[in-house]
Structures are given as C-alpha cells and as structure tokens.
Chains A and B, each alone.
Chain A
Amino acid sequence: MPMRWWPLLNEIWVLFRKDLLQELRSKAALNAIFLFALVTLTAVSYSIGSFNVAPDMLAALLWIVIVFSGLSAFAHIFLKEEEAQTADTLKLIARPTTIFLAKWAFNVLLLTLMLLFTVPLFIGAFNFTVYHPGLLILTLLLGDIGLATAGTIIAVLIARAARRGALFSVLSFPVLLPVMIIAISATKIAFRADPTDLFISEITAMLSFDIVLLTASLLLFEFIWND
C-alpha cells in the first residue's frame, strides 16, 4: 500500500497542535527552558567576568548553555502523558510514527525558541563579533535538530523508569555528544575571521548524524511505545 502523506501530516499537525495548546495554557516547559537558559548563561557569563575569551572557548561555552538548557526541557514531553494518564488514549488514536514526529516537532520548536532568545543574549553578554553569521545559523539549526531528536527518543525511554531526572542526563549525554562535539567545532569556524574551507566537512558530518539518529529513533520508537 503506498504511503498516504496527507493524512499522516494532518495527524501530526493535530497532535502537535494539542501539545502546543497544552503548553500555551500551562507554559510549564517554556518557563523551564527559558529560565534554565538564563540561569546557565548568567552562571557562565558571571564566572568568566570581563576576561577576554577566545572564539574557541566561546563556541564551547555557547553549546554548554544550549545543551544543558535543552536537557532541562526535553524530559517532560512524554512524562506529562504518563502523569496525566493520557498515554493509553494517545496509543489508541494515533500511529507511533505520527506521535513521535509530533513530539519531535514540538521539541524542535521549543529548542528553536530558546535559541532565538539565548544566542543573541550570549553574543551580547560576551560582546564579540560573529564573522560568519550564516554558518552559525546553519550550525545552530542542525544542532537543534540533533539535540531535539536525541532528547525525544531518550524522553520516551525514561518515561517509565524510576529516578528520571538524573537518568535522562546520563542516558542522553552519550547520544547527543557527537552533535555537541561537531557543533562546537563548526561554531569555532563561524566565530573566527579565518577562511571557512573546513566548514563543509563539519556540516556533512552533522547532517549525516542527524539523519542516522532520526531514522533510528523512528524505527526504534515503536518498540518502546507499544508494549
């Protein structure tokens, strides 16, 4: 049977809108991620003080802020279904693939909003020039997708486990570390005034990792979701 795209997209949209509405009413995840980003940024910025920091260092600091803020918000996405006991209803009304994609889209949106808020603030706080803004945006976008994918699949893994908070960080760290490592080195290039020949290989590595991770997550999600 050929895949029908329209109903699939429609289903994803309905589920995505449900999460969005829920979020707009409670604003729990939004508040958490924005405040967490602000707190991490303050901690980093304050401890560095007025030292002149090299671009390489700034790239690493930026991704530390991003990754830790993301980790604080992702864990909640499936947990809230378990807590509200709506997970079983969700299983009845939608296919696993659509559920995963809807949750994933929500996480991507959440992280993108956080990036729109954090990155300008970060650049302002450390008062430096980004030499290649286009490259930075591309890196952030691919990193965003990678982090959201890893966050979504790990979130469903831990929704049933005990001691979730600590477990989420422990489990997701090895999976999203490749994203972080490549993103840091790509961001270094974007922050420097030097030529950007090496950027292509970094971006290819990141893109391929994103694709592999998303495909694997889509395939594996069904095994966790249906029991």
Chain B
Amino acid sequence: MHNTNVKNNLALAGKALLYIILNLVILGAYFYAPLAKGLKEYTRVLYFHVPSAWITVLAFLIAAVLSGMYLRTRTMLWDAYAAAANQLGILFCLITTVTGAMWAKASWGAYWNWDPRQTSIFILLLIYAAYFALRSAVENEQDRARLSAVYALLAFITVPFFIFVVPRIYESLHPDPLINSDAKVKMNSQMLQVFLTSLGVFTALFLYMLNMKMRLIRLDEKIMENEEEYE
C-alpha cells in the first residue's frame, strides 16, 4: 500500500512539473528568448514547430518498432500500442503542418507553395492517413494487425527519404534545420536554452500521452477479460 502511494505521488509531481515547464516554455518563447538579427516576431513559431516535427518522426519510429514487435510476438497488445503511437503521430504531424503553413504565410506570403519541406510533411500526413485507411478496411482483427504492421514498416523506410534526402536534393526556402550541412547551431545561448527545453518537454509530453493511451488499452483489455469471465 505504501509503495503505490509513493508511486502515485511521484506521478503527480511529474505531471505538475510537466505542466509548469510547458508553461515556462511558452512564456520563454515569447518573453525570454531574444530575436536574432534580421528575424521577425513570427520566427518564434520555431519553439513549437520544430519540436512537433521531431515528435512526428519519433512517433513514427516508435510505431515502426512496436509494429516489428507485433510481427515478432503476435501479441495483439503491440498492435494496439502501434496504432496509439500513430494516432499521436498524426496529431503532431497536423500541428507541424499548420504551424509551418502559418509561418510560411508570414514569411513567404502564401500558406502553401509545395516547398520540398512542405511536400515531405504532407507525404508523412498521407502515410499516416493511409495507415488508418488500411486499418478501417480490414475486418479480421489478426489480419488487420498483421497488414497494418507491415505497412507501418514499409512506409517507415520511405521516411528518411522525405525527411533527410529530398529536402537536401531540391532547393528549399525552408530555414536550415538544426542538423545542417555546416554542423553549426545558428542560435544564441538564450534561444538555445528555450529551444532545447521545449524539445525536451514536448518529448516528455508525447511520452506521457503515449503512456496514458497504453494504460487505457491495457485497462480496456482487462475489462473485456472480466466480462468474458462473467459470461
């Protein structure tokens, strides 16, 4: 009993910390981080846009790993986890697309102009959507799990092409990503502090959401088991 109490308190403290730091990042992005020379106010979107883009790829990676686990073990739980990771991934992919489009309107004058970066994020969105289209089209549970796991893995091998190769082959107006060819970080220390905190706290938020979804899936399964026992 004592042990669960400690665990609960820790979880509560973690949630509180996450909440506080998330708010600090929002405040920091607007009031603490200075604007670099020649940059306008709208560049502050960077503190939210880049972390969401990172999580889009991270969620996809996690979903691919979970799909692989499903194919290895054939336990339905892994399939449900993979679907949950992809659901969160599509959410962050949407956030990335929309914040990117807003920034593009301010900076380039149009919401959408098929810049290579915009193309790649749009294709990612299509892949996520196709994954759920496939899931809804297969009736049998085992078949659905198997086919969507294979599709997640297959689609995942195209992701490096869209994220890393295509935007570098074709000229893009998109600002250099952090991992650029000069291997230089073009931010001053205050900007970097806010940015890295944002990256970390967004990742924590994503993992927290994913964990919550996984717990829901496990609880669902338990309820189903209990119902079967009573019948």
Q: Which residue of A lies closest to B153 (CB)?
A: A220
| A178 surroundings in chain B (CB, below 8 A) | 158, 161-162, 165-166
Measured between C-beta atoms, what is the minimum distance from B28 to chain A in Å? 36
Given contacts A157-B151, A162-B137, A174-B126, 18 further A-B contacts (CB under 8 A): A160-B138, A161-B138, A162-B138, A170-B133, A171-B130, A174-B123, A174-B127, A174-B158, A175-B158, A178-B162, A178-B166, A182-B169, A185-B169, A212-B157, A216-B153, A216-B157, A223-B71, A227-B146
On whether the beta carbons of A217 and B154 are closer than 8 Å, the reply is: yes
On whether the beta carbons of B138 and A175 are closer than 8 Å, the reply is: no
| B150 surroundings in chain A (CB, below 8 A) | 157, 220, 223-224
B94-139 with Cβ < 8 A to chain A? 123, 126-127, 129-130, 133-134, 137-139
A201-227 with Cβ < 8 A to chain B? 201-202, 205, 209, 212-213, 216-217, 220, 223-224, 227
Give Cα distance in the complex from A177 to B123, angstroms.
Answer: 9
On whether the beta carbons of A213 and B157 are closer than 8 Å, the reply is: yes
Measured between C-beta atoms, what is the minimum distance from A81 to chain B in Å? 16
At the interface, yes or no: B142 with Cβ under 8 Å from chain A?
Answer: yes
Given A171-B133, A178-B166, A185-B169: A224 in contact with B126 (beta carbons within 8 A): no
At the interface, yes or no: A163 with Cβ under 8 Å from chain B?
Answer: yes
Give Cα distance in the complex from A202 to B166, angstroms.
Answer: 11
At the interface, yes or no: A153 with Cβ under 8 Å from chain B?
Answer: yes
Give Cα distance in the complex from A209 to B161, angstroms.
Answer: 8
At the interface, yes or no: B46 with Cβ under 8 Å from chain A?
Answer: no
At the interface, yes or no: B170 with Cβ under 8 Å from chain A?
Answer: yes
On whether the beta carbons of B151 and A171 are closer than 8 Å, the reply is: yes
| A217 surroundings in chain B (CB, below 8 A) | 154
At the interface, yes or no: B147 with Cβ under 8 Å from chain A?
Answer: yes
At the interface, yes or no: B201 with Cβ under 8 Å from chain A?
Answer: no
Give Cα distance in the complex from A174 to B161, angstroms.
Answer: 11
A100-135 with Cβ < 8 A to chain B? none
At the interface, yes or no: A167 with Cβ under 8 Å from chain B?
Answer: yes
Cβ contact of B134, chosen from A167, A182, A212, cutoff 8 A: A167
At the interface, yes or no: A199 with Cβ under 8 Å from chain B?
Answer: no
Q: How many residues of chain B get a CB closer than 8 Å to chain A's CBs?
A: 30
| B147 surroundings in chain A (CB, below 8 A) | 157, 160-161, 224
On whether the beta carbons of B158 and A201 are closer than 8 Å, the reply is: no
| A216 surroundings in chain B (CB, below 8 A) | 153-154, 157
B129-182 with Cβ < 8 A to chain A? 129-130, 133-134, 137-140, 142-143, 146-147, 149-151, 153-155, 157-158, 161-162, 165-166, 169-170
Measured between C-beta atoms, what is the minimum distance from A48 to chain B in Å? 20
On whether the beta carbons of B142 and A163 are closer than 8 Å, the reply is: no
Q: Which residue of B lies closest to A220 (CB)?
A: B150
Give Cα distance in the complex from A170 to B135, angstroms.
Answer: 13
| B158 surroundings in chain A (CB, below 8 A) | 174-175, 177-178
Give Cα distance in the complex from A162 to B155, angstroms.
Answer: 20
Q: Which residue of B lies closest to A153 (CB)?
A: B154
Contact with B along A158-200 (1 / 0, CB 8 A): 1011110001001101110110011001000000000000000
Pick 18 A–B contacts, CB within 8 A, sort by A. Answer: A157-B151, A160-B138, A160-B140, A161-B137, A170-B130, A171-B130, A173-B126, A174-B127, A177-B123, A178-B161, A178-B165, A185-B169, A213-B157, A216-B154, A223-B146, A223-B149, A224-B150, A227-B143
Specify which of A158, A170, A171, A220 lies most central, judged by the most chain B CB atoms within 10 Å of its CB.
A171
On whether the beta carbons of B139 and A171 are closer than 8 Å, the reply is: no
On whether the beta carbons of A163 and B154 are closer than 8 Å, the reply is: no
Measured between C-beta atoms, what is the minimum distance from B78 to chain A in Å? 13
